[in-house]
């Protein structure tokens, strides 16, 4: 039976609920800077989130909603510059502490670190966005707690492709069976499962609660905090993990170990 040695976290939607009030607002600010009359409303952004990666998302928006747009240079170059502006806006917003970590995240990170469980990140977002978010957290130097930060364009294909989780595993030098992954979206679930990370916890976020998380070991509405337990929504190991969750009241390391054990006992038949 493999030991739980590392936890690999997604960022957007998982460590923090950044999409609606963070990324979306930063995209709109960049559009305004460029003199474009593009405005991504909350529902439109929800639709566009099926495309991972900001540059890819802008490209899809242009193709579907602005087919007659004539960029002043190559479309790829224009999108790259526009996206650069978006990243600057996003980082500034994070620096002001606009969006904090989700409830339970800091508690779980501290417990894992104290127990010697290694921490990693696998995300589609631009690396600078991750460091800006973590730099604004209440614990100084939080980014350094993560031994591996696999982010953005470093892989050929973004989620739902498995590449970014595979890269995180490679950098950790661990097999998937030694890890638990934490995600919030259907694209993230497909990516993690594709990399063999079957011990997969989903904490749904504001945009993802109605998505399909088939194959995830446990689906919750959050990590919860003592006195404020999360709601169990689904999962192949929901029964096994829910007993520990009921006893401990929120997602802690014992819940992750129960989930990891359940998945690997089932795999061993
Ligand atoms: C995050 C994303 C990213 C962000 C924007 O997905 O899809 O595209 O929305 O980041 P995940 P950039 O949570 O699955 O990693 O604009 O920096 O690409
Ligand atoms: Mg996410």
Q: In the 3-class helix/strand/coil scheme, how is 205-263 assigned residue by residue?
A: CCCCCCCCCCCCCEEECCCCECCECCCEEECCCHHHHHHHHHHHCCCCHHHHHHHHHHH
Residue 241 has a pLDDT of 87
Which of 18, 30, 54, 121 has most ligand 1 atoms within 8 Å of CB, for mutation? 54
Q: Name the pLDDT band for 199 (thresholds 50, 70, 90).
A: very high
Residue 269 has pLDDT above 80, yes or no: no
Ligand 1 proximity of 186 Cβ (cutoff 6 Å): no
Mean pLDDT (the chain) is: 96
Q: Which string of DSSP letters, residue by residue, matches 81-112?
A: HHHHHHHHHHHHHHHTT-SPPPTTHHHHHHHH
The alpha carbon torsion through 84, 206, 15, 126 (nearest 10 deg) reads -20
Residue 245 has pLDDT above 80, yes or no: yes
Portion of the chain with pLDDT greater than 90, in percent: 94
The alpha carbon torsion through 99, 229, 195, 116 (nearest 10 deg) reads 90
**Atom number in ligand 1 closest to CA 49:** 7
Ligand 1 proximity of 159 Cβ (cutoff 6 Å): yes
Q: How far apart are CA 10 and CA 105, in angstroms?
A: 12
Half-sphere exposure of 110 (CA within 13 A, CB side): 8
Residue 2 has pLDDT above 90, yes or no: no
Residue 166 has pLDDT above 90, yes or no: yes
Ligand 1 proximity of 187 Cβ (cutoff 6 Å): yes
Q: Whose alpha carbon is nearest atom 14 of ligand 1? A: 188
Ligand 1 proximity of 18 Cβ (cutoff 6 Å): no
Residue 35 has a pLDDT of 97
Residue 140 has a pLDDT of 94
Ligand 1 proximity of 53 Cβ (cutoff 6 Å): yes
Q: Stretch 161-166: mean pLDDT, rounded?
A: 98
Residue 257 has pLDDT above 80, yes or no: yes
List pLDDT tens digits, range 65-117.
999 999 999 999 999 999 999 999 999 999 999 999 999 999 999 999 999 99
pTM over 0.95? The answer is: yes
Q: How far apart are CA 51 and CA 189, in angstroms?
A: 14
Residue 15 has pLDDT above 90, yes or no: yes
Centre of ligand 1 from the C-alpha of residue 176, in Å = 23
Residue 266 has pLDDT above 90, yes or no: no
More confident residue, 240 or 82: 82
Ligand 1 proximity of 13 Cβ (cutoff 6 Å): yes
Q: Whose alpha carbon is nearest atom 16 of ligand 1? A: 54
Which of 21, 57, 188 has most ligand 1 atoms within 8 Å of CB, for mutation? 57
Residue 196 has pLDDT above 90, yes or no: yes
Residue 162 has pLDDT above 90, yes or no: yes
Any idea what DSSP says for residue 169?
A: H
Centre of ligand 1 from the C-alpha of residue 56, in Å = 10
So which residues are the catalytic ones?
10, 12
**Atom number in ligand 1 closest to CA 191:** 14
List pLDDT tens digits, range 27-67.
999 999 999 999 999 999 999 999 999 999 999 999 999 99
**Atom number in ligand 1 closest to CA 18:** 9
Residue 185 has pLDDT above 80, yes or no: yes
Residue 267 has a pLDDT of 82
Portion of the chain with pLDDT greater than 70, in percent: 100
């Amino acid at each position: 039976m493999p030991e739980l040695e590392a936890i690999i976290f997604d960022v957007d939607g998982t460590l923090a609920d950044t999409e609606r009030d963070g990324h979306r607002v930063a995209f709109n600010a960049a559009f305004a800077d460029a003199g474009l009359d593009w405005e991504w409303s909350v529902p439109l952004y929800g639709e566009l989130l099926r495309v991972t990666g900001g540059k890819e998302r802008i490209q899809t928006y242009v193709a579907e909603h602005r087919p007659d747009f004539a960029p002043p240079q190559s479309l790829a170059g224009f999108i790259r510059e526009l996206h650069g502006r978006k990243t600057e806006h996003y980082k500034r917003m994070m620096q002001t502490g606009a969006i904090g970590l989700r409830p339970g995240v800091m508690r779980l990170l501290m417990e894992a670190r104290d127990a010697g469980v290694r921490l990693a990140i696998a995300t589609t977002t631009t690396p600078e966005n991750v460091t800006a978010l973590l730099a604004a957290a209440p614990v100084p130097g939080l980014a350094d707690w993560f031994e591996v930060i696999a982010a953005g364009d470093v892989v050929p294909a973004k989620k739902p492709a498995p590449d970014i989780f595979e890269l995180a595993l490679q950098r950790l030098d661990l097999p998937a069976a030694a890890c638990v992954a934490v995600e919030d979206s259907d694209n993230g679930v497909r990516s993690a499962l594709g990399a063999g990370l079957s011990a997969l916890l989903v904490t749904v976020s504001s945009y993802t609660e109605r998505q399909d998380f088939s194959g995830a070991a446990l689906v919750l509405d959050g990590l919860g905090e003592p006195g404020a337990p999360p709601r169990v929504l689904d999962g192949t190991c929901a029964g096994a993990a829910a007993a520990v969750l009921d006893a401990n009241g929120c997602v802690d390391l014992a819940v992750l170990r129960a989930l990891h054990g359940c998945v690997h006992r089932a795999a061993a038949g």
